[in-house]
Structure 1
């Protein structure tokens, strides 16, 4: 997510606020805008001053960190409260390459981290054998009582994107041939 640098932890995490452009109906245009928003946010968070601010928690005195954890633990969680971040994107390569269990070749990876602190919904996109991607969705039933319907909507959205990409490719190829 950000440039590699000397770090105490193996994890190098950063919060990004990426506009998902949900008001754009054209799936390819929406994807391009999301990619641009992500690039812009990554550039912003790569700035030295922004990185320095994100390390404040790492140098926070232990008693203050404990007080913050205590207050967060005792904060009343409200399921209908605002959600400022709900999707985690990771550049940790979760791949099945070389994975075996009792001699059987691995075919998929299930990334799992249960929703915590009221986020209620997690998405994990991981690599599967053959270069496919697998989207794992984990949801709190109180947050999303009809997970099956949500998964249908996700599948339809990905199918719409796939068809739009095929159409664009066919149009592009026919333009090249006509030229």
Structure 2
């Protein structure tokens, strides 16, 4: 019987690296001249980031610093889902940033449809928050990975659990 090869398409964010990026951002904001006397903060609340500052300009500047720190730590900016900027108490503004963990079902369906439309001899199935791709030929699986890397689905994707059964 022929061997079946498979891999999983996942979307995982390392919260330890996110915490390190937040700490570095907080330190840089406290030392920068344009933030002197400012109450600008970045904090992790549950699985979301909460950014707050006096005005939208400072919020945007702090967000730029945070994004730079996240990229240096290997966190893709596609894993961040920015919500609307809203006014907060004391004349400040805040913004919630959701961190993507797992592939949303609509994006998973889009990935599976893309794989099926590629006409490669593989099967793709949605399993919870991951997509499993399996096929007989390893080279075909490599072609699927290359095709997926070439298309932007608007989400952060990693390929893991590559195995031969």
Answer whether TM exceeds 0.5 for this pair: no
Report the structure, 1 or 2, having the larger strand content. Answer: 2
Which interval holds the TM-score relative to the shorter structure? Answer: under 0.3
* Larger RCO (CA within 8 A; separation ≥ 6): 2
